[in-house]
Structure 1
Amino acid sequence: MLAFLLHAAASSKLPTGNVIKGQNSEQDKAVYFDILGTYMVVYRQRFATLLHNSVIIQSLMIWTTSLVMGGFPAAVSLALSCLSLVLMWVFSLSFSASVAFILPVISPSPVPYVASPWLVVGLFVAPAFLGALAGQYVGFLILQTYLSNVYSKRERLLPATRAELIRLEAERWLFKAGSFQWLLFLIIGNYYKIGSSYLALVWLVSPAFAYGLLEATLTPARFPKPLKLATLLMGSIVPLLVSAGTIIRLASSLIGSAVRFDRNPGSTPEWLGSVIVAVFVAIILCLTSVYLLSYLHLSEAKRSIIFATCILFGLSLAAVVSGIVPPFTDLTARTVNVVHIVDTTEKYGGRQDPVSYVSLFSTTPGKLTREIEHIKEGFTCGRDKPIDYVTFSVDYGCWTHEDGEDGWDESDIPSLLVDSDVSSNGRITNILIDTKGSTRWSLGINTDEIEDFKFKGEEELVPIGDKSSVDGWHTIQFSGGRDAPRSFALTLFWKKNSTRLVEANTVPPPLLKLRTDFNRLTPKAKRVISKLPSWCALFGKSTSPFTLAFLTALPINI
C-alpha cells in the first residue's frame, strides 16, 4: 500500500493545489456505479443534482396535473394506494423478521444459511414476498371499496362490469403508487446528496416512461384496461440490470458479517444477525417488486405463485430442521478459539490459587453443543462463567478443568505489585508490572478511578494526557520481539473524587487487569484442537489470546 501511494502521489496526472483549492468539493464528488460488474458509470455530483432536480420537478408537475384533473377522488385514491404500500412494508418486514426469531429455536445454528446462502431465498425472501403481497392486497381491497362508492355515483353500469372496472382502476393506482414511492426516495436522496440516489432515479424514470408510453393518456380513461405485461418488462429491465450487482454484493456482505460481528461472544442475541439479513431482504423486495405486486392481485397465476412460495419456504425450513443442509462445512468453517487459561485473579482482597482450565468459544453466534459432542474431553457450556480477556469478554463459552495442570509453569505467571502509594497532592500509585516470559500482553486500566497514567522510562508507549475509554476501561495492547522488555513501571494518577457506586454483595471491578499470552500448546489444548470437527477452524485476531493465556488483576482496595 505504501509503495502504491508513493507512486500515485508522484503522478503528473494529479491536479495541482490551486486547482483543488478552486473546486467545489461537494459538487465535484464522483457518483459511480457498475452494471453487473462489467461497465462502470461515473459522473460528477453537479450533474447528478441537475438531473435529479429535473426529474423531480417534472414528476411533481405530472402528479399535480393528474390530481387536479382527477379531483378529490384521485387524491383519496392516491392516499389509499400509499396506504397499501405502508401495509406492504409492515407485513413484509414482520413475516421475514419472524423467521429470524424462529431459527435459533428450530436449528442448532441461528445462522444456518452461511455455508449455503441460497437458503436465504427460501427462509427470508419467500416470507417477505408473501407478507408484501398480503399487505398490499389488504390495501387493494380498501381501495376497491372506496372506488366502488365513487363508481356507483358516476357510472350506470351492470354490477359485474362495474366490479371489473373498479379492480382494473385499483390495479393502476397500485402501479402508480410504486412510482410515487420511488419519487419520495429520490427527493430525500437528492436533498442529502446521497450517492446511491441513482438507484431511485432509474427505478422511477424507467417504469414511469414505460407506463406513459404504453398505458397513460392525457385524458383519464373512462374504462380502464388491464395493465400490459410489456409495461412491466420494459420498466423493470434497466433498473434490475443497474441494481442487481449492488444488491447481490450487499446480501453477500451481510451474510458474511452475520457470523463475525459479535465482538464479545455470547453478548448479543442469537437472532440479531438473522434479523438484520431478514430486514435487508424485506426492504430490497419491497423496493424492487412494488411494480410486480400490482399485477398479481388480478393475475390468474396468483394462487399458483403463493402455493409455490409456501412450498419453497416449507422445504427450506425442513432442510434447516433436519440438518440435510449443514450450517457449516469444510469449505465454510465455523471459527473457534481454544485457549488454555491460568487464572490468578485476586478477589475479595485475598489471592486465590491459580485456576487452570481449557476454554472453547466462538465469535459465530450459536451454541457449541454439536462441537462439544464431537470433541468430548469433559467440556461444560453455558453463561454462568464469563471470562474477561481484557480486550474482550466471553459471555457464552465452554470449559473443562480435566488435565489442566500440565503444560505451564508458575514462573510464567505475571505479577502486578504496588511499589508505592502516596496521597500528598492527589493520590499517586506506582505499579510494577512483570509479564515474565511473555512479550505479548494486554492491560486494562479502570478509568472510573484513574484519571491519567504513564509508564516510567517508557513514556513513548502511552503519551501523557487525556485517555480514551470504552465502558470505563482504557486498554493497552503490547507485542514485541524476542528481546522486547518484560518489566514495566506504571504510575497511576487517581481521580480526586470518585463517584463509582458498587451494589451490595457484588465484586467491585479491579483497578487493573492483565492478560499475558504465550504461543504454546499445552497437552490438553493440543488434544482438544486435534479433535475439532472438520467444520471448525481456529481463528485469531489482534485482540484474541494465544493458545496459552494468564489472567491476573489488581483490586481497587490496594
Structure 2
Amino acid sequence: MGIGGKSGIFQAGPHPWAIENFAIVAKYPSAQIVAQDVFTFGAIKSATDFQVYKEVAGLSGLDFAYLDNTAVYHTKNDKLQLLKPGSLQHLGDNMLAFLVHAAASSHIPNGKEMDAFQKTGQDTAIFFDILGTYMIVYHQRYASMLYNSVIVQSLLIWMTSLLMGGYSAAISLALSCLSVILMWICSLSFSTLVALILPHISSSPMPLISSPWLAVGLFAAPALLGALIGQHFGYLILQKYLLDVSSRRRRTLSTVVQADLAKLDAERWLFKAGLVQWLVLLIMGNYYKIGSSYLPLVWLVSPGFAYGLLEATLSPARLPKPLKTLTLLMGLSLPFLISAGMFIRMAGLIIGSAVRFDRNPGSAPEWLGNVILAIYVTSIICLTLVYLLSFVHFSGAKTLITLITCTVFGLSLAAVLSGIVPPFTEDTARTVNVVHVVDTRGTYGEKQEPSSYVSLFSMTPGKLTKEVEQIGEGFVCGRDKVIDFITLSVKYGCLTKDNVGSGWSESEIPTLHVKSDINGDDRITQIFIDTKISTRWTLAINTEEIEDFKFKEIQKENSAELVPVGDKSSVDGWHIIQYSGGKNAPTRFDLTLHWIKNYTKVAREDGKRTEDQHLLLKLRTDVNRLTPKAGKVLQKLPSWCSLFGKSTSPRTLAFLSSLPVHF
C-alpha cells in the first residue's frame, strides 16, 4: 500500500498455521491484526489478491504490505528509486526464515484439515508484534476466555466498590464518566472545526499530504486542548460534588483541607473513569469478536493493576493521596509499547490515502478527508491520554500545556498558510488523470456524432484551479457535465475541446450491434460487441432490465465462453465486467441477454427514468496511446501532479459507447 518501511502482515488466515509458524522464526516480525479488522468491517473499500485466494478458493496464507509513503500507491511515482534496500532486506530476512522452517516442518495442514477448521470458525489467530522484535499469537477461543474473565472481574470489582461506597460513589462515578464524555465532545469539536476550516483557508483541502508531521500541530494539538478543557469542566463539577460530600462527612477538618481532599479524590475518580472507557470498548470488541480487542485489554488491565497495587493496597491511610507518578510509569509503559507504533502507522496510512480519497471525483465534500483524520487523531488522544489528563488538573500544568498546544497549532497553521510547507511535492504528488475522451453517447443513449474532448480530473479532493492555470490549453472546470467512465463518475473536473480532432479515428470507435431480438414471454437478445483496437475495456449491463446473460469471445477457430448463465451480481443496478488482454487478445464478443420476466409490465415510465436508466449497455474501451492534445497537457502538467494508474481508471485515450433500452 506504499513504498518502503517495514514489510508488515496485515491479513492472515483463516487457518492459524502460517501466522503461528511465522511468529516462531521471523527475525524482525511486523504484524498487526488491526489492519485485518479494518478490511473485515469494510472501512477500506478495496481488496487485495490475498482475499481472492482466501474468500473464493478457501486457502490460508499471509498478506504483507509496505505502508511508508502510501501516497505514491497506484501513481507514476511508485518507482524503484524510492524503495529502500532495507525494506526488501526486512521482507527477505523474515520470509527466508519462515520458508526454511516450513520446509522442515513435520506437519503442514492439508485441505481437509483447513476445511474442517473453517467450518468451526472458532479458532482464528489474534496476532501483533511488540516493537518489531517479538510477536504474540493466540487463538480466538483463548481470547474469548481471557476477555470474558477480565470483563467479569472488572464488573465485580466495580459493583463491590459501588456497594461499599454507596450513593456518593455511584454519583462520583457518573460525574467522572461525564467528564470523559465532555472530554470527547470538546476534543472532537476543536479538531473537527479545524478540519472544516482548512479547505477554505489553504491551497489544498488536505495540506499535509507531503508533510504528515503537520497532523500533530493541526489536529493533535487542538484535540489535546479540547480534551483538557472538556475534562476540566467535568473535573470542576465532580470536585464541587465531592467537596459537598466531604463537608458533611469530615466536619472536623478545616475548609482548606476539605477542598484539597476533594481535589485529590476527583483526580482519582477521573483516572478510574479512563478504566471504564476501556472496559466498555473491551466488552464491545469481545461481543463482536474484533481481533484488535487486545488493545482495550492492555489499556484496561495494566493501568488498573498499577492503580490497585500502588494507590489502594499499599496506601496505609484512608484519606485520598495524590496519584503517584509511578502509577503512570507502571500502568502506561506496556500499552504504549504495544500500540504507539501502530497508532502512528495508521495515521500515516490515512494521510497518504487522501491523495486517492475521492473515488468519484467531486462526489465527496472537500473537508471529508480532514474530518476522518481529525476523528482518528481525536480518538487516539482521548483514549490514550485519559489517564495522563487526570494528573493535570491538580498539578497546575494546565497553563503550560495550553500554551504549548496553542503554539504548536499556530506554527503548523502558519506553515500551511504561508506555503512554506507545500501540500504536494514531486515525490509525494497529487493524483490526476488526463484522458482524451471520444464519446458517442447521446441523450438517453441515442447515437450522435462523436464528441471529442480532453478531461482532467483528480482522485484527490479539491479544485484544479492551480493546475489549470499552469497547463492552459483552454480547460474549463466545473460540475456542469458528469462523465460516466462506468467504474467511476467524474462529477467535478476540467474539459477542453481545443484541437482535439487528431490522434484518433472513427474506425476505432467500438460498436454494439443487435444481431437478434426474440420478443416473447422470455425475451432473449443477442448482441455483437467489437472493441476494435482495444484489449482493455469495461462493460456495464443494466440488471433492472436484464435478469441473466451469457458472454462469449469470438475467435477465428472457435468461441470461448467467458461468463456462463446464472448467479449474476449487481451494484446500483449494474453488472460490470472488466477485461484486460494481451496483444493478441480477442476484440469481438457475443453477448446473450435474458430479460426479466414480464419486463413490459414493470413500471418504467419514461418520465420517471433518469438518463442513466435508459441505457441497456455501457461500454468504455481504453487505449494506451497519447493523442497530440493529451501529450501537450501531460508535458505542461505541474511537477506536484502524478498520473493515477489503478486498473479501474481509464487510460489516456478512452472511447465511450452505449446501447439504449429501446434500441
Question: How do residues 41-80 of structure 1 correspond to structure 2 at under 5 angstroms?
Answer: 41-80=136-175
1:513 to 608, 612, 618: 618
Q: Does 1:14 align with 2:108?
A: yes
Q: Secondary structure at the match of 1:226?
A: coil
Q: What TM-score does the superposition give when structure 1 sets the normalisation length?
A: 0.93
Which residue of structure 2 aligns with residue 244 of structure 1?
340
Aligned-pair CA distance for 1:337: 0.9
| Counterpart code for 1:512 | L
Aligned-pair CA distance for 1:490: 2.3
| Counterpart code for 1:13 | H
Pair 1:325–1:76, CA change in 2 (3 A): same
Pair 1:431–1:326, CA change in 2 (3 A): same
Q: How far apart, CA to CA, are the structure 1 residues paired with 2:507 and 2:468?
A: 32
Q: Does 1:91 align with 2:192?
A: no
| Counterpart code for 2:570 | S
Which residue of structure 1 aligns with residue 465 of structure 2?
369
2:652 to 534, 547, 552: 547
Q: Assess if the C-alpha contact under 8 Å between 2:444 and 2:614 holds in 1.
A: no
Pair 1:510–1:126, CA change in 2 (3 A): same
| Counterpart code for 2:205 | P
Pair 1:249–1:273, CA change in 2 (3 A): same
Which residue of structure 1 aligns with residue 534 of structure 2?
438
Q: Assess if the C-alpha contact under 8 Å between 2:444 and 2:615 holds in 1.
A: no
Which residue of structure 2 aligns with residue 391 of structure 1?
487
Q: How far apart, CA to CA, are the structure 1 residues paired with 2:593 and 2:140?
A: 52
Deviation per residue, 1:345-398 (Å, 9 max, x gap): 132575322111111111112111111111111111111111111222111111
Pair 1:524–1:146, CA change in 2 (3 A): same
| Counterpart code for 2:158 | W
1:186 to 272, 282, 304: 282
| Counterpart code for 1:538 | L
| Counterpart code for 1:270 | E
| Counterpart code for 2:243 | S
| Counterpart code for 1:117 | P
Question: How do residues 239-388 of structure 1 correspond to structure 2 at under 5 angstroms?
Answer: 239-347=335-443, 350-388=446-484
User: More deviation in 118-127 or 317-326?
Assistant: 317-326
Q: How far apart, CA to CA, are the structure 1 residues paired with 2:290 and 2:271?
A: 26
Q: Secondary structure at the match of 2:500?
A: coil
User: More deviation in 545-554 or 177-186?
Assistant: 177-186
Question: How do residues 379-458 of structure 1 correspond to structure 2 at under 5 angstroms?
Answer: 379-455=475-551, 458=559
Q: Does 1:207 align with 2:303?
A: yes
Q: How far apart, CA to CA, are the structure 2 residues paired with 1:429 and 1:284?
A: 57
Aligned-pair CA distance for 1:173: 0.7
Which residue of structure 2 aligns with residue 523 of structure 1?
628
Aligned-pair CA distance for 1:140: 0.9
Pair 1:454–1:300, CA change in 2 (3 A): same
Which residue of structure 2 aligns with residue 499 of structure 1?
603
Q: How far apart, CA to CA, are the structure 1 residues paired with 2:462 and 2:436?
A: 22
Q: Assess if the C-alpha contact under 8 Å between 1:67 and 1:75 holds in 2.
A: yes
Deviation per residue, 1:54-98 (Å, 9 max, x gap): 433433333333223322111111111111111112222222222
Q: Assess if the C-alpha contact under 8 Å between 2:537 and 2:578 holds in 1.
A: yes
User: More deviation in 18-27 or 383-392?
Assistant: 18-27
Which residue of structure 1 aligns with residue 213 of structure 2?
118
Deviation per residue, 1:144-182 (Å, 9 max, x gap): 121122122122233222222211111111011112222
Deviation per residue, 1:475-524 (Å, 9 max, x gap): 12222233322222322222223333544696353121111221111111
| Counterpart code for 1:172 | R
Q: Assess if the C-alpha contact under 8 Å between 2:131 and 2:341 holds in 1.
A: yes
Q: Assess if the C-alpha contact under 8 Å between 1:108 and 1:367 holds in 2.
A: no
Q: How far apart, CA to CA, are the structure 2 residues paired with 1:16 and 1:454?
A: 36
Q: Does 1:481 align with 2:582?
A: yes
| Counterpart code for 1:537 | S
Pair 1:444–1:348, CA change in 2 (3 A): closer
User: More deviation in 259-268 or 385-394?
Assistant: 259-268
Q: Secondary structure at the match of 2:577?
A: strand
Q: Secondary structure at the match of 2:205?
A: coil
User: More deviation in 217-226 or 165-174?
Assistant: 217-226
Aligned-pair CA distance for 1:306: 0.5
Pair 1:424–1:59, CA change in 2 (3 A): closer
Q: How far apart, CA to CA, are the structure 2 residues paired with 1:10 and 1:442?
A: 46
Q: Assess if the C-alpha contact under 8 Å between 2:446 and 2:659 holds in 1.
A: no
1:163 to 259, 281, 287: 259
Flag structure 2 segments of 5+ consecutive residues without an equivalent: 1-49, 54-59, 62-98
Q: Assess if the C-alpha contact under 8 Å between 1:439 and 1:479 holds in 2.
A: yes
Pair 1:65–1:439, CA change in 2 (3 A): closer
Pair 1:377–1:90, CA change in 2 (3 A): same
Aligned Cα RMSD in Å? 2.6
Q: How far apart, CA to CA, are the structure 2 residues paired with 1:126 and 1:109?
A: 20
Pair 1:357–1:26, CA change in 2 (3 A): closer
1:467 to 562, 568, 580: 568
Aligned-pair CA distance for 1:279: 1.0
Q: Assess if the C-alpha contact under 8 Å between 2:176 and 2:270 holds in 1.
A: yes
Pair 1:173–1:378, CA change in 2 (3 A): same
Q: How far apart, CA to CA, are the structure 2 residues paired with 1:291 and 1:33?
A: 24
Q: How far apart, CA to CA, are the structure 1 residues paired with 2:577 and 2:119?
A: 41
| Counterpart code for 2:209 | V
Pair 1:10–1:553, CA change in 2 (3 A): farther
Which residue of structure 2 aligns with residue 109 of structure 1?
204
Q: How far apart, CA to CA, are the structure 1 residues paired with 2:468 and 2:279?
A: 54
User: More deviation in 542-551 or 184-193?
Assistant: 184-193
Which residue of structure 2 aligns with residue 535 of structure 1?
640
Matched residue pairs, number?
A: 556
Pair 1:419–1:535, CA change in 2 (3 A): same
Q: Secondary structure at the match of 1:416?
A: strand
Pair 1:420–1:62, CA change in 2 (3 A): closer
Q: Secondary structure at the match of 1:460?
A: strand
| Counterpart code for 2:603 | T
Q: How far apart, CA to CA, are the structure 2 residues paired with 1:30 and 1:351?
A: 56
Deviation per residue, 1:447-486 (Å, 9 max, x gap): 1112222236656221112321111111122222333222
| Counterpart code for 2:231 | Q
| Counterpart code for 1:33 | F
Q: Does 1:490 align with 2:591?
A: yes
Q: Secondary structure at the match of 1:353?
A: strand
Pair 1:73–1:533, CA change in 2 (3 A): same
Larger CA Rg, structure 1 vs 2:
1
Q: How far apart, CA to CA, are the structure 1 residues paired with 2:584 and 2:254?
A: 96
2:223 to 117, 128, 131: 128
Q: How far apart, CA to CA, are the structure 1 residues paired with 2:166 and 2:608?
A: 70
Q: What TM-score does the superposition give when structure 2 sets the normalisation length?
A: 0.79
